[in-house]
Amino acid sequence: MARNYPPDHDPSRPTGPARRRARLSDQETERRMLDTAVAMVHRDGLTVGLDHLGFEDVIRDAGVSRTTVYRRWPYKDLFFSDLLRELARGAAPASAPALETTGEVLSEVLSSRSEDLASPQGRHDLVTELLRLTAVSDFEAVHGSPEWRTYLALQATFLSLPEGDLRADVQAALARSEQRFVDRVARGWETVATALGYRLRPETGGSFPLIATLACAAMRGLVLMSLSDPDLLTRRVPANPTTASAASDWSLLGMAAASIAVTYLEPDPDVTWDDLA
């Protein structure tokens, strides 16, 4: 009996029971399992430990063979140890705007107040305004970041691990993650300072990585405090921490960033500005 097939029918392609899922290699199964579990952690959050994460749930969501998974990890504790290593390698201590975002904020401030570039006080006011604005966006981004909560839980989990290879691996991975984050923040500070004609104060012995470390510590401390005191997110202080032309309403993180900037940065006397008047 003749059958009517759709125009795009391919008789060489198996259908029904003959259709089988492509077999994954052990390496592909491992990668898919870890990627799926990391995504689940970022979606649902990480408690101190991974007891809330079901091994069978990861297998199901990853769409991999149980036989292959159990050959790779005969016990689920072995998988969770590898997952901790994976999370630590990819962990970010906190979300922060990329350098592109910092550049966008700088461009926005400059376009709306370009006339301020004509004088030293005007440029100082621009730096002040940039600190004030980016502190608010940074604080809000970190506070709402699931990666931040995962990192916080990873730190607590690391402290509870017994001495051994797993603890050493997680500690080393977290340290590398921390350094990458500080380096990124340092580049942001240096980009903005250079663009507006500022330099490090020679007598302070400071550096942009040091500034970044202090700024990150202040941000992390305030975000941690705000978990139990959410009012810190919206608290504003009328102040003029940089001796700008006028006082403004400052967030607490902005006050901390301004204090760091005043301590370590100054106008670069070797930078000559064109007459913009």
- Is 1 part of any domain? no
- Is 275 part of any domain? no
- Is 256 part of any domain? yes
Q: Which residues contact 269 (CB under 8 A, 6 or more apart)?
A: none
Taking alpha carbons only, the member of 153, 150, 158, 143 closest to residue 92 is: 150
- Is 8 part of any domain? no
Same domain, 47 and 138: no
Same domain, 115 and 250: yes
Question: How far is it, in rounded angstroms, from Cα 143 to Cα 136?
Answer: 11
Q: How many domains does the chain have?
A: 2
Q: Which residues contact 26 (CB under 8 A, 6 or more apart)?
A: 68, 71, 72
Take residue 248 and report the two structure tokens written for it.
């403004």
Same domain, 142 and 226: yes
Same domain, 261 and 158: yes
- Is 273 part of any domain? no
Same domain, 51 and 103: no
Same domain, 131 and 171: yes
Q: What is the pLDDT at residue 233?
A: 86
Question: How far is it, in rounded angstroms, from Cα 34 to Cα 20?
Answer: 23
- Is 16 part of any domain? no
Same domain, 74 and 187: no
The alpha helices in 91-145, defined as continuous H runs, are 99-112, 120-143
Q: How would you write the pLDDT of the chain (277 residues) with one tens digit per residue?
A: 444 545 555 554 545 444 455 678 888 888 898 888 888 877 766 554 566 678 898 999 999 999 999 999 998 889 988 988 888 887 666 555 444 555 666 677 777 776 777 788 888 888 898 888 888 877 877 777 777 777 877 887 888 888 999 999 999 988 888 888 889 889 888 988 888 889 999 999 999 999 999 998 998 888 889 888 989 889 999 999 999 999 999 999 999 999 999 999 999 988 877 654 4
Last residue of a domain, one of 90, 115, 135: 90
pTM of the entire predicted model:
0.71
Q: Helix 55-62 to helix 26-44 angle, to the nearest 10 degrees? A: 110
Exposure of 231 by Cβ count < 10 A (0-12 exposed, 13-18 middle, 19+ buried)? exposed
Same domain, 156 and 221: yes
Residue 96 has φ and ψ, to the nearest 5°, of: -145, 150
Same domain, 236 and 133: yes
Q: Which domain holds residue 263?
A: 99-267
Question: How far is it, in rounded angstroms, from Cα 239 to Cα 113?
Answer: 21
Residue 266 has φ and ψ, to the nearest 5°, of: -150, 160
Last residue of a domain, one of 62, 90, 118: 90
Same domain, 123 and 258: yes
* Structural contact between residues 267 and 123, judged by C-beta atoms closer than 8 angstroms: yes
Last residue of a domain, one of 90, 115, 145: 90
The alpha helices in the chain, defined as continuous H runs, are 26-44, 55-62, 66-72, 76-90, 99-112, 120-143, 146-160, 165-195, 208-226, 231-234, 252-264
- Is 153 part of any domain? yes
For residue 75, give the H/E element and its range: none
- Is 18 part of any domain? no
Question: How far is it, in rounded angstroms, from Cα 124 to Cα 147?
Answer: 34
Same domain, 200 and 234: yes
Output the CA–CA distances (angstroms, integers) from residue 41 to 76, 83, 86, 172, 270, in the order listed.
16, 10, 11, 21, 50
Same domain, 171 and 196: yes
Angle (CA) 227 233 237, round 5° = 135
